[in-house]
Structure 1
Amino acid sequence: MLKALGFGKQSPSPSAGGHGEDERLSVLKEAVELEVSLRAMDLVMDDRPSEANKSLKEGKSTYNKLALGVINFIEATLGFEPEAIKLAVDSLYEAEQSSHRDRQKSQRTHLSTSSKFPPGTEYAVTMAEAHLLGAISLFLSESVIDSAKAFYKLRKAYQILDEVNGHVNSKGPGQNSNLSTASSSGKLSETTSRRSVASDEQLEQKARDLKFARSQRINRATNPSSETLIDESDGIEMAHESVDEFIQSGVDAMFGLLQLVISIIPPTLGRVLSLVGFRGDKEHGLKLLWRASGYSNVHGAIALLALLQFYDGPTQFSDIELPQKSPSNSSSGCEDSSSVNTTTSDITSVEDMELTKKKLETGLDRIRKFYPRGALWQLQEGRMVASKGDMPRAVEIMNDTSSGPIEMKQVEGLMLFDKTIMLVVLHEFETAAENFVRLVDLNSWSHAFYYYLSGACHVELYRQHKTSNPEYAAKHKKLATAAIEKAPTLVGKKRFMAKSMPFDMFVLRKTNQWKHTSQSEKVDLVDAIGTSPIHEVIYFWNGFCRMPKELLEKSLTYLAYSTNEQDPPIKETEDEQITRNLLQSVALRFLDRSSEGISLLDNHVLPKIWTPQPHKGHTKSGLPKVQYHKHHKDAYAGPSAIYERGIFEWKLNGLESVDRVKDYMELATAWADDYELSTRVGMKIKSATDRLETIHSS
């Protein structure tokens, strides 16, 4: 395989055969094309896609085609539109084919554009990148055939990256002197006595073009002097720098991302992938991504995005607080998964977590300066601030329009959704209700869920003002009714990987349930709703841990609405009671009223979702085996309640209770059905389990 990629071969001097001038010109030309393409991808990261596409309009090179593919891929993965996905697949396939042709040509002619790596290595990287991103794009389609093609592309990407990574990262910088290409590349900078004046002029002009393109990308220079003096040897050295950086950063980013993804996917799929040669190594993947994140190019941007999502993603939180090395430090009580799933066993304390967060902050600060107009990075900064618990400041960051209007509508939609969820956590229900409807115009996905969320906000406003301001309450009751009635009519309009969206099915079940209650109890639709639906959403997005204390107290009151003995809209069902007690227990935990929260779970939730079976044995920590009761409508509530009981155990007893907490997590996992929202609940359980394993093994 190494020989197939061009490694291990002896490469004659590029000047052999009397074509040194042409080959030098080719090296400079390819480097210019690379720099122009890298700048185009930078423009997309800086929220300037129209400029990016314009700069690539006339190009025909492999780098140009890869840049178009990457741009289309970014737009496809941000918006999930079928047309965008198809465009990404097609353009990345074209980049694959062009990479294959250029790689073969480089190996055949022994033309090396790198000072360190064999001829064609750069095109092995472009081909692997096109395969990997093309595979991801195919996975987003609804076709079973496309999914099969995606696995093939993923396998090809893995094989190429594995081989190239083994060579590129097997030695430190400057230790590739055994490669004949390293010595032969030096001959590219030698002058030839037989060179013509025209050839000199061409080479010097192309060297100036390269300096301009590289300066424009790295230093953001816009008007460098056309008289800039640069000789050919300097141009060749600069070309080597461009290509070497592309190879190293590309391998680190793409192989790091692939290794990380394979290592954290669900175990069942992971076992299947391992059978066909995929091996994920989380620690190695993270190491590569951290290194790639230091580059000021699209690979560095992709690597940092991956790290931010892994460590500081909007739904990646763990309620297992890390122990402290020093008693002087305090934990926030709500930590993101950055504090555990980093370099496996390295992060085992609050102090370690803070060091990792500091690295992320430094990286994000640097990249925001490099991409000053990039709304995607503004979004990441807002998310990072929110993960620290400062929701008002996060909303302020996302409201900042000083960089001008957002050009990429997909990013604008993501920004608005994240900001609106934060507003919900801050109980800004009226603004949130309006924003959810605005999202319908920015995103063709999840329209049913957006209307459901808007309706849920109006329900809360109706309940809060029902007595104090009947006119205002009536207005929101009407708006809630309209939104809730519209939501189910939009279910099924979009499908993901040929399946209905999880929250679409959730919306359909909830609204049908309320309609049935409305008819059977002869009450208005809004009055047929039990436990606060917007507080369920707050739980799904881990909002209770970010909620200020005074709002947690209010949430307890809002959740008790359906138990109001003086004015009960309808009698609370067992299903609604389970959900209410679950949500109230979580709010109590973040109010440091753990004994009350445990009492709710032990007395009003767990007895309804399982029956202890001590005669069948016990877990390692002494918990009895159980028989589950899975007939409740809010199916997520059962495993979630078991999970929360384990979290209470950890909060009260910490390290002394590791075995018991792990047993609770195993009992939650053993619920096992493909229940409603099982993926979301399962990720929370897995995050907690991973953290416990890390702490226990340290």
Structure 2
Amino acid sequence: MKRVGAWLHPSKASIHQSRSLTALDESAALQEAMRQAAYIVNDEVDKAEAELAKGNSPFHKLGSATTLFLRATLGFEKEMMEQAGVRLADAQDSASEYHRRALRDASTAHQSAIYPRGSEYALCHAESQLMSAVVGVLNESLSESLRGFYNLRKAFTTLQEIVDAENKYLEKHFSSSTTSLTSGTRSDTSTAPGKNASETNSGVLTPVDAKDADDDELEFVDAEESVSDQVTPRVYKGNLDGKPEQIATDAPSAAEKAEDQLDFASVSSDPIDIFIHSGAAMCFGLLQLLLSMVPPAFGKILSIFSFRGDRENGLRLLWRATAFKHNINGAMAGLVLLPFHNAAIALCDIHRREAYPTERLRQLLHEMRSIYPNSLLWLLEEARMHGAERDLETAIEVLKGDSKPTTLKQVEALRVFETSMACMFLHRYEECAQSFIRCIDLNNWSHGLYYYISGACYVELYRQYQHTDPTVAEQHKKKATELLHHVSANVGKKRFMARQLPLDVFIMRKIAKWEHRAQSRHCDFIDAIGVSPHEEMIYFWSGLKRMRPEHIAVSLASLEWSESQPTWKDEAADEKAILSLLKATCLRNLGKVAEAQTELKEHVLCHPVSAITACDHADNWPLPVAHYEKAICLWDQAGGQDGDRTSLKQCSDELAVVERWGSFDLDARIGLKLTTARETLRRIGISQ
């Protein structure tokens, strides 16, 4: 793909190689592409692709690329990611070409009172870069992943400059309601001190800050090349945010309230202005949110690119974009907000009450389902909401109740996966196993994991019937053996940033551990398995947050099986630590916080690190995770965000232990919870 510096100053001949859109044509092309792109979020992706393919504008190409991007990110399929990458590159090239034309030929370009000429194409370019970055990071190649982070940096800067222009206009024309939101934005831009943006060359679109330029005649020029000298603005500045960084409070500030009261429809009714405004809010909000969710393990990588995210600000931007639900930007913002809250925040243990706005989310889901009634994506979110409310039975009914076919096999795979998980949390062992086996036919992301969980289900059934019905028990034992022996041949095929997937590494180590135990104990493979692998998976997938007391009672009974075995007194330290950790988590979720703390103190944290690591094929995660669980207990003991400050400080200290621990099994699955917990404490004034 061309460098931005190459196409910002093209030869005259290149400008007229194909017909430019007139301002009138451009508006019509945008509205047509937006209408066709809306099919994407109504489960009519094939129709969207067919309709968008008929157009050749950057808006059509962006929409077409979005269809493949959605398929690629929902299914994590390498072939689809490669196709999406090609189409996104084409969309970027098209956007850059049209942007160049807009700068060179003002007579045919759309004239906005708010944004620099060509901003709509700069936004298309940034959106394509953002999607390319996500595809790159998900790619199995380390070089592609790093290139993806660099694309994120470039998209970030372009978006920042677009909204700086919006700020300037709003401050001038709507100063009574927005002055407090828009002051000082230039000081936070990414141009290095002492340099004018026009003196540098990076391949990032930014507006020139020329003293003699008219407010309405800003243009995009090349931005700074040196990433190491740039400081990424911590917050998005638009009519959206211009406050200096400070410790946030629970109540929204006056600036935030003013932001939310500003109806952009009263600022402009121009479809192109609305596209730019909603697209910038959606993209910048998504970027801020993604950066804020990065686990501590990836912090060093992002520091190379001067990245910092702001979760609260990102969420405000995404909510603002949902004001335009009928266009693809607003719909995509909804597709970010709902999964973030239902599949992430709802499952975190330490967060403010305001972090999960139940009624607002229900209203958003209702509106999205009304506008896009055919999409199963909204149905998935409804099921997740029921799960977050500990109503897993209804979640399964919702997932199974709508049998209409979907044009996205990736969405069908997600529906089956969500059903499988709900069955796992409900201890519906055979149903869970069969459902995960079905995932193998629908998705190729982690077949080893699907076999592993299915096998773990039959291990539980074997243990249930071992002493009451030996014949049935033997059948389940045979099935468990068959499934678990499929694991080794089906892991290690996928990579993330050139490394094996953490879950693949985890389950392969478990299989090796059980094989070693079977050999050293002279017993069958299934009889060598230690603490319930099914309950381990429930923990790592945050199942206990979705289970009611009667479900947790079944988990406790499964854990007691290990303690009842005659070999338990001689069991390895890591297995004993796992069992007590899982038991403590069950007790905490039953509201028995004091008992949970005692279990952690006397039966997990009592083990020195050396005793754990000395075990064969050691599980090294119980100790750091126990410190995290202790932090949750202290949070609960304090009474949450308004509680005893001493307990909250102790909670922070326990989190710090985990943050300093280094790598351990599946640390990324704790990482998001850890990041959320730390941000929560920061916002209520508890420093590290």
Per the normalisation by structure 1, the TM-score is 0.77
Choose which of 109, 113, 117 in structure 1 pairs with 2:110. 113
Residue type at the aligned position of 2:78: P
Give, in angstroms, the shift of residue 30 of structure 1.
Answer: 2.3
Q: What is the CA–CA distance in structure 2 between the aligned matches of 1:396 and 1:372, rounded to whole Å?
A: 18
C-alpha change, 1:119 and 1:315, in structure 2 (3 Å) is closer
Partner of 1:236: none
Choose which of 594, 612, 621 in structure 2 pairs with 1:636. 621
Residue type at the aligned position of 1:493: K
Q: What is the CA–CA distance in structure 1 between the aligned matches of 2:492 and 2:430, rounded to whole Å?
A: 27
Q: What is the CA–CA distance in structure 1 between the aligned matches of 2:538 and 2:561, rounded to whole Å?
A: 17
Give, in angstroms, the shift of residue 316 of structure 1.
Answer: 5.8
Give, in angstroms, the shift of residue 460 of structure 1.
Answer: 0.7
The superposition leaves residues 28-85 of structure 1 with CA deviations (integer Å, 9 ceiling, x where unpaired) of: 3322322232233221211111111111232221111111111111111111222211
CA RMSD between the two structures: 3.0
Contact in 1 for aligned 2:81/2:135 (Cα 8 Å): yes
Aligned residues: 576
Partner of 2:257: none
Q: What is the CA–CA distance in structure 2 between the aligned matches of 1:682 and 1:281, rounded to whole Å?
A: 16
Q: What is the CA–CA distance in structure 2 between the aligned matches of 1:602 and 1:181, rounded to whole Å?
A: 66
The superposition leaves residues 190-225 of structure 1 with CA deviations (integer Å, 9 ceiling, x where unpaired) of: xxxxxxxxxxxxxxxxxxxxxxxxxxxxxxxxxxxx
Residue type at the aligned position of 1:608: H
Choose which of 677, 680, 683 in structure 2 pairs with 1:691. 680
Q: Are residues 1:665 and 2:651 paired?
A: no
The superposition leaves residues 496-539 of structure 1 with CA deviations (integer Å, 9 ceiling, x where unpaired) of: 22111111111111111111111222222111111111000111
Partner of 2:334: 304
Q: What is the CA–CA distance in structure 1 between the aligned matches of 2:479 and 2:626, rounded to whole Å?
A: 32
Q: What is the CA–CA distance in structure 2 between the aligned matches of 1:91 and 1:576, rounded to whole Å?
A: 49
Give, in angstroms, the shift of residue 455 of structure 1.
Answer: 0.3
Partner of 2:98: 102
Q: What is the CA–CA distance in structure 2 between the aligned matches of 1:176 and 1:589, rounded to whole Å?
A: 52
C-alpha change, 1:38 and 1:691, in structure 2 (3 Å) is same
Partner of 1:399: 400
C-alpha change, 1:604 and 1:176, in structure 2 (3 Å) is closer
Partner of 2:480: 480
C-alpha change, 1:482 and 1:271, in structure 2 (3 Å) is closer
* 1:326-341 pair list within 5 angstroms: 339-340=351-352
* 1:116-131 pair list within 5 angstroms: 116=113, 117-131=115-129
Contact in 2 for aligned 1:658/1:696 (Cα 8 Å): no
Partner of 2:270: 241
Partner of 1:209: none
The superposition leaves residues 424-467 of structure 1 with CA deviations (integer Å, 9 ceiling, x where unpaired) of: 11111110000111100111111011000000011111111222
Q: Are residues 1:313 and 2:343 paired?
A: yes
* 1:219-298 pair list within 5 angstroms: 241-266=270-295, 269-270=298-299, 273=302, 276=305, 278-296=307-325, 297-298=327-328
Q: Are residues 1:680 and 2:677 paired?
A: no
The superposition leaves residues 569-614 of structure 1 with CA deviations (integer Å, 9 ceiling, x where unpaired) of: 995332211111111111112223333322322222111145xxxx
Could you tell which deviates more after superposition, 116-125 or 446-455?
116-125
Give, in angstroms, the shift of residue 683 of structure 1.
Answer: 2.6
Larger Rg: 1
Partner of 1:346: none
Q: Are residues 1:382 and 2:380 paired?
A: no
Residue type at the aligned position of 2:579: R
Q: What is the CA–CA distance in structure 1 between the aligned matches of 2:638 and 2:511, rounded to whole Å?
A: 40
Q: What is the CA–CA distance in structure 1 between the aligned matches of 2:470 and 2:483, rounded to whole Å?
A: 20
* 1:441-460 pair list within 5 angstroms: 441-460=441-460
C-alpha change, 1:585 and 1:671, in structure 2 (3 Å) is same
Secondary structure of the corresponding residue to residue 486 of structure 1: coil
Contact in 2 for aligned 1:165/1:255 (Cα 8 Å): no
Q: Are residues 1:49 and 2:45 paired?
A: yes
The superposition leaves residues 77-128 of structure 1 with CA deviations (integer Å, 9 ceiling, x where unpaired) of: 1112222111111111111111111112122221343553343121111111
* 1:423-438 pair list within 5 angstroms: 423-438=423-438
* 1:198-217 pair list within 5 angstroms: none
Partner of 2:73: 77
Partner of 1:373: 374
Secondary structure of the corresponding residue to residue 606 of structure 1: coil
Residue type at the aligned position of 2:670: V
Could you tell which deviates more after superposition, 577-586 or 468-477?
468-477
Give, in angstroms, the shift of residue 694 of structure 1.
Answer: 2.5
Secondary structure of the corresponding residue to residue 571 of structure 2: coil
C-alpha change, 1:145 and 1:367, in structure 2 (3 Å) is same
The superposition leaves residues 1-40 of structure 1 with CA deviations (integer Å, 9 ceiling, x where unpaired) of: xxx9xxxxxxxxxxxxxxxxx99x9333322322232233
Residue type at the aligned position of 1:375: L
Q: What is the CA–CA distance in structure 2 between the aligned matches of 1:595 and 1:176, rounded to whole Å?
A: 55
Residue type at the aligned position of 2:607: K
Q: Are residues 1:132 and 2:133 paired?
A: no
Q: What is the CA–CA distance in structure 1 between the aligned matches of 2:563 and 2:300, rounded to whole Å?
A: 47
Percent sequence identity is 37
Contact in 2 for aligned 1:316/1:684 (Cα 8 Å): no
Partner of 2:238: none
Give, in angstroms, the shift of residue 695 of structure 1.
Answer: 3.0
C-alpha change, 1:589 and 1:272, in structure 2 (3 Å) is closer
Give, in angstroms, the shift of residue 135 of structure 1.
Answer: 1.7
Q: Are residues 1:649 and 2:634 paired?
A: yes
Residue type at the aligned position of 1:158: F
Secondary structure of the corresponding residue to residue 485 of structure 2: helix
Residue type at the aligned position of 1:113: H
Partner of 1:13: none
Q: Are residues 1:557 and 2:557 paired?
A: yes
Q: What is the CA–CA distance in structure 1 between the aligned matches of 2:96 and 2:174, rounded to whole Å?
A: 24
Q: What is the CA–CA distance in structure 2 between the aligned matches of 1:149 and 1:593, rounded to whole Å?
A: 48
* 1:405-554 pair list within 5 angstroms: 405-554=405-554
Give, in angstroms, the shift of residue 129 of structure 1.
Answer: 0.9
Q: What is the CA–CA distance in structure 2 between the aligned matches of 1:583 and 1:413, rounded to whole Å?
A: 29
Q: What is the CA–CA distance in structure 2 between the aligned matches of 1:571 and 1:628, rounded to whole Å?
A: 14
Q: What is the CA–CA distance in structure 1 between the aligned matches of 2:526 and 2:120, rounded to whole Å?
A: 61
The superposition leaves residues 471-498 of structure 1 with CA deviations (integer Å, 9 ceiling, x where unpaired) of: 3222211111100111112121222221
Partner of 1:158: 156
Secondary structure of the corresponding residue to residue 605 of structure 2: helix
* 1:176-187 pair list within 5 angstroms: none
Secondary structure of the corresponding residue to residue 299 of structure 1: helix
Partner of 2:58: 62
Residue type at the aligned position of 1:475: Q
Contact in 1 for aligned 2:295/2:671 (Cα 8 Å): no
C-alpha change, 1:653 and 1:62, in structure 2 (3 Å) is closer
Partner of 1:88: 84
Q: Are residues 1:582 and 2:581 paired?
A: yes
Contact in 1 for aligned 2:42/2:374 (Cα 8 Å): yes
Contact in 2 for aligned 1:100/1:123 (Cα 8 Å): yes
C-alpha change, 1:462 and 1:93, in structure 2 (3 Å) is same
Residue type at the aligned position of 2:63: A
Could you tell which deviates more after superposition, 630-639 or 96-105?
630-639
Residue type at the aligned position of 2:598: S
Partner of 1:194: none
Contact in 2 for aligned 1:259/1:284 (Cα 8 Å): yes
Per the normalisation by structure 2, the TM-score is 0.78
The superposition leaves residues 352-390 of structure 1 with CA deviations (integer Å, 9 ceiling, x where unpaired) of: 356x22222211211111111111111112112211221
